[in-house]
Amino acid sequence: QLQLQESGPGLVKPSETLSLICTVSGASISSSSYYWGWIRQPPGKGLEWIGSIYYSGSTYYNPSLKSRVTISLDTSKNQFSLKLSSVTAADTAVYYCARHDYYGAGITQTDYWGQGTLVTVSS
């Protein structure tokens, strides 16, 4: 059974960089059938896609966050990571890592989600 687990600091100071890791078990992130992504949800609000990465390292990012986001892979550890720079209170959210199905021309559904981790931006 595929499982995704987010890890990282729960508190980040304004202007610093938020860093999270997603550890995948039960499947290889080197599969050509999937993208691996990050999605966030501010308290009481809806879902916002941050970005996704393919096993080749190819990435797609939300245009509204692109200047601050880096997503990368560590295939040796079956992990992928998120870095979001220059954070503000508006970046406070539950951050989910997830798996997207990929059909060659783009991403379709998001079929597996991690449990999510709350990251608070505060001094």
Contact residues toward another protein (CB under 8 A) are 37, 39, 46-49, 52, 60, 62-64, 96, 100-101, 103, 106-111, 113-116
Minimum gap (Å) between residue 47 Cβ and another protein? 4
CB of 29 to another protein, least distance (A): 18
Shortest distance in whole angstroms from residue 74 CB to another protein? 22
For the chain, give the number of residues. 123
Task: Give 16 or 41: the residue with its C-beta nearer to another protein.
Answer: 41
Give residue 38's identity as a one-letter amino acid code: W
**Please, which residue, 10 or 63, has the CB nearer to another protein?**
63
